[in-house]
C-alpha cells in the first residue's frame, strides 16, 4: 500500500472540490432540505482488520541487534519481539461532531471496538488475547437528492488508528535472538489510514437523523510500542533504517447511528 502516491492524492482532490466554487453554487439551491447544520451523533460499529494483509496471525516484529531471519519485517531499534495477530470482527461504538452546508459535510469522529486477537506460532501453538482497535477519523461527505429527507451520500477521509494488544510483546536476548520470557507486555501499533465509503441518512426535520453506511479503510501501521518501552518506533523492512515501511491492516467497517442538531 502506498498512501502517499494514491490515497492522499485522491483525498487532496476531494478536499479541493469541497472548498471550490461547487460548494458556493450548491449553497444557492433553496430547495435543499438541509441548508446549514451543526450536529453531534453516536454510532454502533462493526470493525475488523483484514486477515489478508499483514495481520494474518502468523508473523512477528523483531527489533534489536540480532534479527530473526524467518520474519518478513523487522524493527530497527531496541530488543523486543511483538506478535502481529489476526483480529476477529466485533461490534463497537463511536461518537462524532460535524457541520453541513448544503450537500457537503465535514465530520470528526472517534471509533472503538474490542476484539479477540489470535496468533499461531511454531508447532501450531495458538495464542489468544484481548485487543482494542481505536481511531480518530476526519471525513468529508457529499450528499445527493438533497431536496428530500432521505439522502444517500459518499465519503472520503483520513483515519489515525491504533491497535492495543494485551501481552503481545516480550524482550529478546540480544545474543541469541530468542525471547527471554513469555509474552508479558502489552503492545500498541499505530498508523495512518484512508477512508472511502457510502451510506444513507434519513432526516426528521433538521434536528434529528438516522444514518447507516459502509466504510473501507486502508491503513498503514508504521509505529509500534512494545516491551522495550521506548515510545513509538518506526518500522523498517529487513532492519534497514533507510527502508521505512508499514504493516497493512485494511478493514471493511459497518455502522448505524443517529445525529442531533446543535442550535
d(CA 60, CA 99): 42
| Nearest Cα to Cα of residue 235 among 75, 83, 81 | 75
What is the share, in percent, of the chain residues with pLDDT greater than 70? Answer: 68
Cβ neighbours, 10 Å, residue 113: 21
DSSP secondary structure, 165-206, as one string:
EEEEEEEB-TTT--BSSSS-EEEEEEEEEEEEEEEEEEEETT
What is d(CA 101, CA 23) in angstroms, rounded to the nearest whole number? 8
Spatial neighbors of 138 by CB under 8 A, at least 6 apart, are 106, 107, 108, 157, 158, 159
> How does pLDDT run across 201-257, given as a tens digit for each residue?
999 987 899 999 999 999 888 888 877 776 556 665 544 444 456 788 888 999 999
Tell me the CA distances in angstroms from 51 to 169, 191, 206, 249, one per residue in order.
20, 17, 41, 8
Kindly list the domain boundaries of the chain, sorted by start residue: 39-133+159-250
Q: How far, in Å, CA of 102 to CA of 24, rounded? A: 9
CA distance 47 to 20: 33
All cell numbers assigned to 121: 506460532
C-alpha to C-alpha distance for 224 and 189, rounded to whole angstroms = 4
Sign of the alpha-carbon torsion through 55, 57, 131, 183: negative
Radius of gyration (C-alpha) of the chain in whole angstroms: 21
| Cα–Cα distances in angstroms (integers) from residue 38 to residues 11, 19, 43, 51, 191, in the given order | 23, 18, 17, 38, 29
Q: pLDDT tier at 25 (50, 70, 90 boundaries)?
A: very low
Q: What is the pLDDT of residues 69-103, one digit of tens each?
A: 333 333 434 467 788 888 889 999 999 999 999 99
pTM for this structure? 0.79
Amino acid at each position: 500500500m502506498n498512501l502517499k502516491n494514491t490515497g492522499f492524492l485522491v483525498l487532496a482532490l476531494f478536499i479541493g472540490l469541497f472548498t471550490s466554487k461547487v460548494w458556493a453554487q450548491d449553497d444557492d439551491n433553496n430547495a435543499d432540505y438541509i441548508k446549514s447544520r451543526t450536529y453531534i451523533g453516536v454510532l454502533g460499529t462493526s470493525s475488523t482488520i483484514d486477515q489478508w494483509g499483514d495481520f494474518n496471525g502468523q508473523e512477528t516484529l523483531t527489533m534489536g541487534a540480532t534479527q530473526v531471519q524467518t520474519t518478513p519485517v523487522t524493527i530497527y531499534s531496541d530488543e523486543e519481539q511483538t506478535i502481529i495477530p489476526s483480529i476477529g470482527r466485533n461490534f463497537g461504538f463511536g461518537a462524532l461532531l460535524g457541520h453541513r452546508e448544503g450537500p457537503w459535510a465535514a465530520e470528526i469522529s472517534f471509533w472503538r471496538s474490542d476484539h479477540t486477537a489470535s496468533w499461531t506460532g511454531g508447532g501450531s501453538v495458538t495464542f489468544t488475547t484481548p485487543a482494542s482497535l481505536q481511531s480518530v477519523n476526519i471525513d468529508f461527505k457529499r450528499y445527493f437528492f438533497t431536496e428530500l429527507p432521505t439522502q444517500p451520500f459518499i465519503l472520503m477521509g483520513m483515519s489515525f488508528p491504533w491497535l492495543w494488544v494485551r501481552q503481545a510483546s516480550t524482550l529478546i536476548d540480544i545474543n541469541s535472538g530468542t525471547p527471554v520470557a513469555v509474552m508479558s507486555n502489552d503492545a500498541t501499533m499505530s498508523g495512518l489510514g484512508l477512508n472511502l465509503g457510502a451510506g444513507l441518512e434519513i432526516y426528521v426535520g433538521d434536528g434529528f437523523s438516522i444514518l447507516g453506511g459502509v466504510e473501507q479503510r486502508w491503513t498503514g501501521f508504521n509505529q509500534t510500542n512494545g516491551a522495550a518501552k521506548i515510545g513509538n518506533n518506526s518500522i523498517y523492512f529487513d532492519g534497514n533504517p533507510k527502508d521505512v515501511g508499514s504493516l497493512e491492516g485494511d478493514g471493511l467497517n459497518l455502522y448505524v447511528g443517529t445525529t442531533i442538531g446543535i442550535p
